[in-house]
Structure 1
Amino acid sequence: MTVIAEPAISDATVRQLDVAADLLALLGDTATEPRPDTQLEALTLAVAADLPVLLWGEPGIGKTAALTQLAASLDLPLTTVIASVHEPSDFSGLPVVGDDPAVQGVPMAPPDWAVRLVRAGRGLLFLDELSTAPPAVQAALLRLVLERRVGALQLPPGVRIVAAANPRSSAADGWELSAPLANRFVHLQWVHDHDVVVRGLGGTWPRATLPRLDPERLAASVAYARRAVCALLTTRPALVHRLPNSETRRGGAWPSPRSWDMTLRLIAFATAAGTSREVLSMLVRGTVGDGPGLELLAGLDRLDLPDPETLLADPASAVLPDRGDLRQAVLDGVVEAVRRQPDQSRWDAAWAVLVRALETGAPDLVVVPASTLAALRTDDWTLPADIERLAGAVSLSRRADQAAALTGA
């Protein structure tokens, strides 16, 4: 038998490979810097709140790189699992027959990556290519994402879950995400930022940092979040659970008791951390959907509005919002408070509040509240002196509206 000897690798080749390795190391030697990045801030806040996050973005947009950098910045061991190349039993556990299965049962053995996470006690579990996982695998992921169980193994509290997916149109043999699995995630749209990419390719990427929670604001933040969510759902009960009609929309964010509970947690964390409104908007809309999310954000604005009864008790010290829509809401609330409990003193106080609004803001905002308040007067109520100061502004505003209407016609 003839033995063919493999060609020996020359010393020159080895040296060239070593030089190539040095060059690769230099290319991979990048730094991070503190830099405003709303996407990254939203991701880190959801991770801090221990909620599963799903990043949606086109291929090559940098989702995997962002997760790798996030794990390094937070000093969390990164475990990547490509969902589409696994079987359902890889997440639900493999049955292992023991000596006496009739007595001891058949335990479900977890995969090696789950065992490593438990041994480490902490880590970042990255479920990549989620939209290419078939329905059977998506069903097996339900318990992992919600209960953090893999077979008979319970993942420790220090493990965070982040997934990534491409839209079905750009996914390799993609599937729509099932509604039960989609409703377990905070959905974030991941897009590239030109400045971040250019700066990163130059060697410096944004640094991912966990939000700084104020210990003094924890209890107040929880109360604020509960009040915001409960106030909206009390007035809009149809939003408690609304399953979208189309299969595509069911694979995104939509309102349910589970997603509202996630939203409440995000509001509490964002409030305790002093997070910007833009970041909170991304998180809320990514949990319950755009429509319910925007309604909740509008309700948050109104939670900070002054109490109409406080304004009626001391009109001279009334501090009204600068934003026109919020100021209008406050004035309408004052008039509504008088309508619910009408008497001469409260009616007079309401006129004083309107005068205060006239002195500190646009006069056209007092026209409708003044007209409504005037209609509440009974015959035995005397006219307050403040009403004369408003009469001119109301008359002038109405004439301006009439002139504008004629011009438009």
Structure 2
Amino acid sequence: MRASKLTTTLTALIEQKVPSFLWGAPGIGKSSIIKQIAQSKGVGFIDLRLALMDPTDLKGIPFYDKESHTALWAPPAFLPKSGEGILFLDELNSAAPSVQASAYQLILDRKVGEYELPSGWAIVAAGNREGDRGVTYRMPSPLANRFVHFEMQVDVDDWKYWAYKNSLDERIISYISYVNEHLFTFDAKSDEKSFATPRSWEYVDSILKSSISQDLVLDSISGAVGREVAVGFLSFAKVMGRLPDIETVLNSGEGEYSDEVDVLYALSTALVSTYLKDATDEKLDNLLRYTLGMKSEFAVLCVQDLQRNGVSMEHSSVFKEWVQKFAYLLA
């Protein structure tokens, strides 16, 4: 299931406090989705890495109660005491079987030892698939049956929406639009330590915004996404120098055009990215007016990316002209 549909589905299940498990390859943003749901709902978020825990970390430490002459369990301080939120059990199937067993009661009965999870908190877990070369243990059937299971897919359109919202370097967005398969190059059969994932492209964004000298950029990006992808990306990034002045286009609706596919991918992304940073009705009209002279598929790409980012165009007189020209591609 793609990220956009997962977000909608998981939000509904979290509201009903139905335990859910999110499966997927490493680096595709499983934990980010759950954290974003918590932020959008304005509730708490606690991320527990069960692979780093011992069984007593969840259940707590036993102590002797003088009054009852019994042993009680002191619950850990990291578990929530009140309010609303999402308790995220990350890397659940990477935890040792004894730790997974400690989670049974918490997941099903919402309590463990002397501790009881507040009614406003939902439980969501995540883990890598068994074939992804991560350290995983086969999940026992009784534990698996305590969740509703989903497998997250990598989707370029969903990633582009996220990338625009988070202001990733437009060269990265342009490159992934041009070479979709380089968003995610993980191969469980390969011994390569570096490979492209949504998470590693975030690292590339940080590298590009850092003070690393130009002679070290290739090696640094190779360390994040692999040598082949890094060479392809940096070669493509040189295309950005052949674009018309984006500010001029947005301020006047005029500019040079190109027939080169790589330039058009870069141009489409640059137009949308720059517009979103300072969105006005005038700039929208100018952007749409400029796209009337672009190759049809790239004019449509611009408008689709704007719409995915919540830009309304129905009020624009230029958009009416745009629809008349490109309606046949939208049918």
* TM-score, L = length of structure 1: 0.39
Q: Is the helix fraction higher in 1 or 2?
A: 1
The structure with the largest alpha-carbon Rg is: 1
